[in-house]
């Protein structure tokens, strides 16, 4: 791989979280202006086109983000419950019941929430891509519905993730 490409990939990986946040917030906040059903209209608005093309960028970033967060055994941090490891997760939930803020990182509650967010982002990306691929067919409306459901789940994740980040910062400031 040429050095310039390697450096570009490293920079993209460094900023992928920020890019996903900014682009996702843009796509969510402008989604009410989208007028797409079975297919992109011939007279599509700038919002329709931006949603499709920026959505494709986010889809690529969602795959990249998932891969960078699960390779080399790192999947156990976000999906420890898949390996049957509930130790830190159950400690965090029990501590939460007592008013204790869970620790960031590790294999606890915050990491499990982040893992669910990775899956939801990938689901939004896949359903959006399938909606695009099947446009013009009767199946497109089904994928549109799946995309909306996945997007609503991802919006819920963003809210929960923001609360967790704020709680972590509050705990950091207190200590």
pLDDT, tens digit, 9 for 90 and up, residues 89-137: 999 999 989 988 888 778 999 999 999 999 999 999 999 999 999 999 9
- With a pLDDT cut of 70, the percent of the chain lying above it is 99
Question: Which residue ranges make up each domain of the chain?
Answer: 59-174
pTM for the structure as a whole: 0.89
Q: What is the phi-psi region of residue 84: left when phi exceeds 0, alpha when psi lies from -120 to 50, beta otherwise?
A: left
Structure tokens at 21: 């946040």
> Would the pLDDT of 175 be above 70?
no
Cα–Cα nearest to 91, from 34, 58, 80, 172: 80
Are the C-beta atoms of 37 and 141 separated by less than 8 Å? yes
**pLDDT grade for 80, boundaries at 50, 70 and 90:** very high
Q: What is the per-residue pLDDT across 35-69, written as a single tens digit (0 to 9) for each?
A: 888 888 888 999 999 999 999 999 999 999 999 88
pLDDT score recorded for residue 102: 87
Task: Share the mean pLDDT of the chain.
Answer: 91
């Amino acid at each position: 791989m040429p050095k310039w490409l390697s450096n570009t990939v490293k920079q993209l990986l460094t900023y992928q979280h920020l890019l996903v946040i900014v682009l996702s917030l843009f796509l969510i906040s402008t989604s009410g202006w989208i007028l797409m059903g079975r297919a992109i209209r011939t007279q599509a608005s700038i919002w329709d086109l931006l949603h499709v093309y920026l959505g494709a960028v986010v889809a690529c970033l969602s795959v990249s983000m998932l891969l960078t967060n699960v390779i080399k055994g790192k999947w156990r941090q976000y999906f420890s419950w898949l390996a049957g490891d509930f130790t830190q997760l159950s400690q965090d939930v029990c501590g939460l019941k007592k008013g204790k803020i869970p620790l960031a990182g590790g294999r606890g509650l915050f990491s499990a929430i982040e893992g669910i967010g990775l899956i939801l982002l990938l689901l939004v990306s896949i359903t959006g891509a399938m909606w695009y691929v099947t446009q013009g067919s009767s199946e497109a409306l089904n994928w549109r519905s799946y995309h909306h459901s996945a997007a609503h789940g991802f919006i819920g994740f963003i809210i929960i993730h923001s609360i967790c980040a704020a709680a972590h910062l509050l705990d950091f400031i207190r200590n």
